[in-house]
Each structure stands twice: as structure tokens, then as C-alpha cells.
């Protein structure tokens, strides 16, 4: 991946600094199965409330089964389809909204986000690019793949290798090269009382 590292205020781990959500995928370069399994393994070891592991991920590999991949791809918003068509892998992250005894699990989304972040960090360390998307038709994908009502469909995710910078099509280039930014540390992180910026 070409570097688009976070400009951090304090040093952080390489894989965290290097992760970013690019859109220019190399459609000719498949993701090795062992790398996919390594990403899923990273997600598997995420922390969760009561160790309940509410996440479920579906994976579609464009090369392995184009037709099924296409059914999932068709659930994406048009703006996402424009670039996600080049990513070799598509995923869906779902969360089990209740515990085994039927009580609602109000941490299921929190836990599933943590698992996907672990997956993304592992992917970055393996030289892969992950892009999460809220822009998809959750109702459609639920019915297309018979996802039980007790699971929330949270995000679709693309995974693949990035195109070398000199091969990125003109229409993607500006967005791919645009700088990344974040709120200042003190705007989001408080100490002692609400709104009191961390020093
Ligand atoms: C839950 C979630 C939903 C997102 N939905 C979309 C989306 O539908 N389309 C898109 O292009 N990017 C989407 N993104 C990517 C964000 O825009 C991106 O993470 C954010 O701008 C920060 O950029 P960075 O990941 O490169 O640091 C989504 C990210 C998350 C975590």
C-alpha cells in the first residue's frame, strides 16, 4: 500500500498508523486464503461482553464463486459499487442481538466493531487494504442470504491489495491521495469530568 499514515500526536503501532480506507483495489491480485484466515483469526480473538462473541462474518470471494459474490455485491449502495467491484473479497459483519437465554445483548454492536477493527489491523499488517461500508441494503442482504432476524447486519467490508499508485485511474486518484484527518485528541478524550480535555 502506498503510505497514507496517520499524522499522530503521539507514536502508535505501525499497523494502526498505516491502516486507511482506500478504494483503488487491484482486481487481478487475489487474497491468499491463509491471509484471509489470519484476518478472521484476529477477529476471533477480539474481546466481547461475557466472552459471548456475538459477531458473525460472511465472506464472498469474487474468483471462487462469482455468482454468489454478485448477489452480495448487488446489495451495496451504488456509490460503493463503483469501486467495490474491484475488490476480490466482500464481507458482511453481523451481530447477534441477544444472549443464549434470550436477554438482549446491548454490547453486540460494540463487540462486533472491535472484532472488525482487529481484522482490519491484521489485514494492514499483512499488506492488505480493508474498507468498511455502511452504504448497503440491510433488508436485501438479509433476505438474499437468509440471515436470521435476531442478527443485525452492520457493515459490508471489502478486502484486497491496493493498486500501485501509478495504476490508479484518474477518477479515483484525488480521493485516494486526499489527506486523512481526525478531531484533535483534546476534542474527543476527557479526563475526570465530561468535556475536560485530556492534557
Ligand atoms: C461503519 C462504517 C461505515 C462506513 N461506510 C462507508 C461507505 O458506505 N462508503 C465509503 O466509501 N466509506 C465508508 N466508510 C469509511 C469511512 O468513510 C472511513 O473509515 C473514514 O472516512 C476514515 O477514513 P480512514 O478509514 O481512511 O481513516 C465507513 C466506515 C465505517 C467504520
Give the neighbor-by-neighbor strand order of the sheet with 55-61.
55-61, 89-96, 151-160, 129-133
Residue 20 in contact with ligand 1 by CB distance below 6 A: yes
Distance 101 CA to ligand 1 centre (A): 34
Q: For the domain made up of 14-164, give the CATH fold.
A: NADH Oxidase (3.40.109)
The domain segmentation of the chain, as residue ranges, is 14-164
Rg (CA), the chain: 18
pLDDT at 45: 98
pLDDT of residue 1 exceeding 70: no
In whole angstroms, give the CA distance from residue 157 to residue 66. Answer: 17
Average pLDDT, the chain: 96
Is it the case that residue 2 has pLDDT exceeding 70? Answer: no
Which residues pair with residue 28 across a beta bridge? none
Q: Is 21 in the pocket of ligand 1 (CB under 6 A)?
A: yes
pLDDT tens digits, one per residue of 97-123: 999 999 999 999 999 999 999 999 999
Query: Does residue 6 carry a pLDDT above 90?
Result: no
What average pLDDT score do residues 63-83 get? Answer: 98
Q: Which atom of ligand 1 is nearest to the CA of 23?
A: 11
pTM (predicted TM-score): 0.97
132: Cβ below 6 Å to ligand 1?
yes
Buried b (16+ CB within 10 A) or exposed e, 63-82: eeeeebbeebbebbeeebee
Amino acid at each position: 500500500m502506498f503510505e497514507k499514515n496517520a499524522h499522530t500526536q503521539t507514536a502508535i503501532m505501525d499497523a494502526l498508523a498505516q491502516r486507511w480506507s482506500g478504494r483503488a483495489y487491484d482486481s487481478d491480485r487475489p487474497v491468499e486464503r491463509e491471509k484471509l484466515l489470519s484476518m478472521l483469526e484476529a477477529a476471533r480473538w477480539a474481546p466481547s461482553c461475557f466472552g459471548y462473541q456475538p459477531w458473525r462474518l460472511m465472506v464472498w470471494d469474487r474468483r471462487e464463486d462469482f455468482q454468489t459474490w454478485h448477489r452480495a455485491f448487488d446489495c451495496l449502495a451504488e456509490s460503493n459499487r463503483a469501486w467495490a467491484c474491484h475488490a476480490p473479497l466482500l464481507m458482511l459483519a453481523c451481530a447477534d442481538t441477544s444472549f443464549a437465554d434470550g436477554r438482549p445483548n446491548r454490547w453486540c454492536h460494540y463487540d462486533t466493531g472491535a472484532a472488525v477493527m482487529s481484522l482490519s489491523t491484521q489485514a494492514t499488517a499483512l499488506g492488505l487494504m480493508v474498507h468498511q461500508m455502511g452504504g448497503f441494503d440491510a433488508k436485501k442482504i438479509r433476505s438474499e442470504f437468509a440471515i436470521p432476524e435476531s442478527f443485525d447486519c452492520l457493515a459490508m467490508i471489502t478486502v484486497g491489495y491496493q493498486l500501485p499508485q501509478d495504476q490508479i485511474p484518474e477518477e479515483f486518484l484525488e480521493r485516494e491521495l486526499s489527506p486523512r484527518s481526525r478531531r484533535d485528541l483534546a476534542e474527543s478524550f476527557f479526563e475526570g469530568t465530561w468535556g475536560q480535555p485530556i492534557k
